């Protein structure tokens, strides 16, 4: 039986066990690197900026959700020189396919075609296992202080240039992060590194910058039946390195 942890020590125990491993895997199914830079050329080092994107199916339409500040970075690079934008393996024009954007709430919703989706989740590529998610409830239900969330993305610190035209993106995810405060349009999770539990083989990043746009799911537990479910609630939009606070923009704040 799964019970919501009441203390950081209980959260660490949960994260260290089989449930924590499964919680960590879940958000990365719906996350993809969002990156942009000059077209690659032999003999020229790659200069790339990157963030993350959440892959959503809302009704009959596919979307990549990322942060407005990620697109602002792309706009700046585009104004300076030729620049391409990619979601995983797919090159596209995010500005031409932009469905909705707001700088204040720091979100950008990019419409994705079925053909582009096949390239993004190309099974023989490096992002095998990435799937689109159709939320069971839209807009998402409320999240309360003390609830636990799981999130994931692609920190820039783990990005590596393998060759002049090939990048490797390391991922990072948290399986049981406690919500420490909830506001009208965002929530905050306090990072407590002494309670981090590491799974997998990738190094632990000192900074998780580059995860902006990564998906965040609330871990739900039914009262009548012992089933754990995940509800998409929003995306990462900021990480305070000094205070180690993760800020999550709630999807219900921009859903109309």
**222-250 residue pLDDT tens:** 655 567 788 999 999 998 877 788 999 99
CB atoms within 10 A of CB 58: 16
Regarding predicted confidence, which is higher, 43 or 53?
A: 53
Q: What is the pLDDT of residues 104-148, one digit of tens each?
A: 999 999 999 999 998 887 555 444 446 677 777 788 889 999 888
Which residue, 48, 13, 241, is CA-closest to 163? 48
Whole-angstrom distance, CA of residue 235 vs CA of residue 56: 11
Cis peptide before 201 (omega within 30 of 0): no
Query: Are the beta carbons of 160 and 168 closer than 8 angstroms?
Result: yes
Q: Does the domain spanning 8-253 belong to CATH 2.40.10.120?
A: yes
Assign 161 a pLDDT band (cuts: 50, 70, 90): low
């Amino acid at each position: 039986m799964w019970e919501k942890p009441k203390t950081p020590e209980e959260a660490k125990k949960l994260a260290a066990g089989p449930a924590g491993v499964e919680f960590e895997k879940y958000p990365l199914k719906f996350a993809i690197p969002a990156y942009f830079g000059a077209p690659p050329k032999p003999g020229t080092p790659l200069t790339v900026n990157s963030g993350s994107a959440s892959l959503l199916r809302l009704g009959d339409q596919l979307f990549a959700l990322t942060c407005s500040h990620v697109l602002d970075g792309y706009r700046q690079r585009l104004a300076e020189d030729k620049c391409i934008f990619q979601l995983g393996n797919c090159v596209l024009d995010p500005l031409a396919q932009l469905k909705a954007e707001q700088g204040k709430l720091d979100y950008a919703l990019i419409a994705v075609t079925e053909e582009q989706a096949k390239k993004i989740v190309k099974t023989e590529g490096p992002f095998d296992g990435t799937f689109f998610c159709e939320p069971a409830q839209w807009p998402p239900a409320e999240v309360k202080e003390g609830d636990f969330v799981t999130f994931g993305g692609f920190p820039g610190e783990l990005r590596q240039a393998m060759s002049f035209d090939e990048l490797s993106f390391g991922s990072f995810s948290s399986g049981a992060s406690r919500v420490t405060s909830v506001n009208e349009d965002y929530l905050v999770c306090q990072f407590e590194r002494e309670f981090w539990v590491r799974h997998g083989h990738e190094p632990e990043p000192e900074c998780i910058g580059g995860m902006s746009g990564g998906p965040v799911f609330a871990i739900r537990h039914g009262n009548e039946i012992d089933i754990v479910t995940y509800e998409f609630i929003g995306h990462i939009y900021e990480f305070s390195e000094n205070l180690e606070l993760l800020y999550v923009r709630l999807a219900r704040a921009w859903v109309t």
